[in-house]
């Protein structure tokens, strides 16, 4: 009955907009974190309550607000609560992409909203920036999220911009490398069951052209000597084989 009550609150908010941003996000957090306890809730969250579209809309509005304040020279004027809600929405993408097994046509919009959030935060809000990169990495791990969704939603643009950035912070390069490694593994392992061979080849060609246009191969090669150091700093394991990060057409 408690969970049913939260469903009713969200549905009512979608019609009347009667919740504060923090309360709205908190209600979704409770529901999304049910995935690992109750897989039957997935249909309700994704298709009945339209979490994907709702999250995309919230992220776009937050990104627009942050961008407007930066243009006016009000970087310091972004309220702490607004940034808190922004971070919480992006953090919620982790369990969602990890557990979600239902594809939704709104996925492109959600990826696109994460890309917009990245553009709004990449210069002045590095914590938000990192959350965006982590979110697209998680999305690339999930076979439910089609690679076409990642490409059309702008996930590759986010990863390519950030991986070419000069930085001493090893968190973001690690997540970016994981993103490209996940995409490459999905192509090589032929894990996307919904795509026939011709569609797979066409998608690989599009991704390859995108990476080639941005000078991706040279960038990845330049990271070779840093792979082990990045691994040490993140306590995870990246492949030390450069070819594992390349999409072979």
Helical ranges in 189-234 per DSSP H: 197-213, 216-222, 227-234
State residue 42's pLDDT score. 87
pLDDT per residue over 82-100, tens digit each?
Answer: 888 999 999 999 999 998 9
Q: Which domains does the chain have, with CATH numbers?
A: 2-245 (1.25.10)
Q: What pLDDT, in 10s, does the model give residues 10-58?
A: 999 999 999 999 999 999 999 998 877 776 688 889 999 999 999 999 9
| Positions in the chain short of pLDDT 70 | 39-40, 69-79, 167-168, 190-195, 249
Dig out the tokens for 196 from the structure.
């026939």
**pTM across the whole model:** 0.89
pLDDT at 213: 92
pLDDT of residue 58: 94
- How much is the pLDDT for 74? 55
The answer to whether 28 and 92 have CB atoms below 8 angstroms apart is yes
Distance CA 4, CA 23 (A): 16
């Amino acid at each position: 009955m408690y969970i049913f009550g939260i469903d009713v609150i969200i549905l009512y908010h979608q019609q009347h907009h009667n919740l504060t941003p923090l309360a709205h996000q908190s209600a979704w957090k409770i529901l999304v974190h049910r995935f690992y306890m109750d897989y039957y809730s997935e249909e309700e969250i994704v298709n009945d309550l339209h979490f994907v579209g709702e999250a995309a809309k919230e992220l776009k509005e937050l990104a627009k607000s942050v961008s407007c304040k930066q243009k006016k020279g009000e970087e310091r004027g972004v309220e702490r609560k607004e940034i808190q809600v922004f971070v919480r929405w992006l953090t919620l993408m982790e369990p969602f992409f990890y557990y979600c097994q239902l594809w939704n046509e709104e996925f492109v919009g959600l990826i696109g909203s994460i890309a917009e959030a990245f553009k709004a935060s990449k210069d002045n809000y590095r914590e938000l920036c990192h959350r965006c990169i982590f979110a697209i990495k998680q999305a690339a791990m999930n076979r439910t999220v089609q690679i076409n969704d990642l490409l059309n939603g702008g996930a590759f643009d986010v990863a390519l911009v950030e991986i070419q950035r000069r930085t001493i912070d090893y968190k973001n390069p690690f997540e970016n490398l994981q993103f490209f490694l996940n995409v490459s593994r999905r192509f090589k392992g032929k894990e996307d069951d919904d795509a026939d061979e011709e569609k797979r080849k066409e998608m690989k060609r599009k991704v390859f052209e995108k990476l080639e246009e941005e000078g991706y191969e040279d960038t990845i090669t330049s990271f070779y000597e840093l792979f082990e150091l990045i691994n040490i700093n993140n306590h995870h394991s990246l492949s030390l084989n450069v070819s594992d990060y390349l999409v072979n057409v």
